[in-house]
Amino acid sequence: MNKSSANISPNLIKHYADHLRLELSLSDNSVDAYRHDVNLFLQYLESQSYPTDISAITQDTIENFFAYLYDLNIGATSQARILSGLKSFWRYLIQEDLAEKDPCELITSPTLGRHLPEVLSFEEIQKMIDSIDLSQPTGHRNKAMIEVMYGCGLRVSELIGLQISNIYRKDGFLRITGKGSKERLVPIGDSSLKILYQYIEGARLHITPKPKYTDTVFLNSRGTGLTRQTVFLLVKELAEKNGIKKAISPHTFRHSFATHLLEGGANLLAVQQMLGHASVSTTEIYTHISDDLLRETLTEFHPRLKHRQKITPNS
């Protein structure tokens, strides 16, 4: 096998596992863990119809994979282990002359421990929405997706799985199926609902849904449902288009939804219910974001602290 024809395949992964066991003398548990990580990456490539050619896999491919893991709510510890597994795999490929360089080389390990998620300002979100070209066939669909993600705080899986029959237009609620198939009712504002129905009663009517997707809200041009990757790429494109340098994903709109509500004085338990968090402690991370904002505001605007900043000598 040469570089130009090498593919990530179950057979190659088996050879890699044999290398770990026989040449590096790793334990069976370690070998199984490394093999699982590479199999997970292969499954991702196949699910997104990405090429499995080793030469076609770039840093962007790896970054998109980790954004996909993030949107599945796979934690930082697991992500760090998976990244370690992929780096080990590419060391093997380079050693076997199946790859020239490691696309994981510049990928940094996720920060372990509880961290504050990235949040967009309302102005940044509005810029992204306003920049969507409504003259394009997907324009109204994309606008509705961003509006609903931010307006209702949905996970990307909940967004692409939304059913028309679960929109209670008159009452202003969506019935959402979340983690563990748990259902919850989420309110949707009048403006978001209006934009959603501009798509459903407009652009969507020009698409013939496949039998399995007749009730699915968001469709592609082939009449089937969207993938997480489609939504991720849309968000990435809109961020770049508007000069937003933050590391964001579809999940960022959910973070922003919760943060903006709490900053505006919303009840923590109400936000927990809308997000579908099993525990209020998960929702409380957004109160830490609000606390940081308050602290920054105090430092910037309190006259005594501003005075201290002026007289502090340069180090």
117-150: pLDDT as tens digits: 678 999 999 999 999 999 999 999 999 999 999 9
Is residue 105 domain-resident? Answer: no
Is residue 305 domain-resident? Answer: no
Respond yes or no: is residue 277 known to be catalytic. Answer: yes
Q: Which of 204, 236, 254, 255 is catalytic?
A: 254
Q: Which of 19, 251, 255, 260 is catalytic?
A: 251
Respond yes or no: is residue 251 known to be catalytic. Answer: yes
Burial per residue of 154-166, b for 16 or more beta-carbon CB atoms within 10 angstroms, e otherwise:
bbbbbbbbbeeeb
- Based on the fold, state whether residues 32 and 174 are members of the same structural domain: no
Q: What amino acid is encoded at 8 in this protein?
A: I
CATH code of the domain containing 81? 1.10.150.130
Is residue 58 domain-resident? Answer: yes
CATH code of the domain containing 223? 1.10.443.10
pLDDT at position 295 is: 54
Is residue 314 domain-resident? Answer: no
Asked if residues 71 and 78 have their Cβ atoms less than 8 Å apart, the reply is no
Is residue 161 domain-resident? Answer: yes
Respond yes or no: is residue 302 known to be catalytic. Answer: no
Q: Which of 35, 143, 155, 236 is catalytic?
A: 155
Total domains, the chain: 2
Is residue 110 domain-resident? Answer: no
Is residue 307 domain-resident? Answer: no
Question: Dihedral angle at the C-alpha atoms of 279, 282, 288, 293, nearest 10 degrees?
Answer: -110
259-299: pLDDT as tens digits: 888 888 888 888 888 888 777 766 766 665 555 554 555 55
- Based on the fold, state whether residues 246 and 146 are members of the same structural domain: yes
Q: Which of 95, 130, 150 is the last residue of a domain?
A: 95
How much is the average pLDDT of 165-192?
A: 90
Is residue 276 domain-resident? Answer: yes
Q: Which of 16, 150, 199, 286 is catalytic?
A: 286
- Based on the fold, state whether residues 126 and 85 are members of the same structural domain: no
- Provide the whole-model pTM: 0.58
Domain span including residue 86: 3-95
Q: Which of 179, 210, 212, 241 is catalytic?
A: 179
Respond yes or no: is residue 184 known to be catalytic. Answer: no
- Based on the fold, state whether residues 254 and 162 are members of the same structural domain: yes
- Based on the fold, state whether residues 282 and 137 are members of the same structural domain: yes
